[in-house]
Amino acid sequence: MITKQYKKIADIYKIFAQDENKESLDFSPEALQKMFDYESNGDGNVNVESQHLEYLKTGKKVNGYSVGKKFMDITISSWIDTVKNPGWLAFMEELYCDEFPWWWLDKIFKDFVNEKNNQYKSLGISNENSPENYIDKMKQKIKETNQCQ
């Protein structure tokens, strides 16, 4: 049985797959179940490359959730590299203004924010100016002003 938490993640996979050729992607309940089974216990095959080759040969649709996950993983890796550079605060603000759920972004950047907080603390910078506090203030401002819309 597919969990509520997994359905939330599957919605995020859909976001990352939305720029792909929609006619080639399968977002049916069966595709969701296959992806869940694969990620939960390794059952089945959701390999994007082999599915794409089959699509080219037979027209059989590719599991849209597996495509979204692949692009999500690539994108997150790029985001992590980006936030390690100067200007990361502005980049984070862009992400929090995008369509991604905040709980998910918080989870992705948790280690980065903790590392930055420790760096600030070791330099004697007050908690008030910590990255975590900055992000919390930024999210509050977005909620209050709808500045992203």
Average confidence score pLDDT of the chain? 86
Same-domain status, 49 and 92: no
Q: What is the pLDDT of residues 99-137, one digit of tens each?
A: 899 999 999 888 888 888 888 888 887 777 777 888 888
d(CA 57, CA 82) in angstroms, rounded, equals: 38
Within-domain flag for 93: yes
Residues 35-46 pLDDT 10s: 999 999 888 877
Q: Is residue 132 part of a domain?
A: yes
Same domain, 101 and 62: no
Tell whether 125 is covered by a domain. Answer: yes
In angstroms, the CA 36 to CA 33 distance is 5
Quick check: is 13 in a domain?
A: yes
Q: Where are the beta strands (DSSP E) in 23-126?
A: 25-26, 62-63
Same domain, 63 and 101: no
Mark which of 71, 93, 120 sits at the end of a domain.
71
Q: Could you give the number of structural domains in the chain?
A: 2
Residues 93 and 50 in one domain: no
In this structure, the answer to whether residues 44 and 11 fall within a common structural domain is yes
Q: What is the pTM of this model?
A: 0.79
For residue 134, the enclosing domain spans: 84-145
> Does 76 map to a domain?
no
- Tokens linked to 88: 């990361």
Tokens representing residue 31 in the block: 């595709």
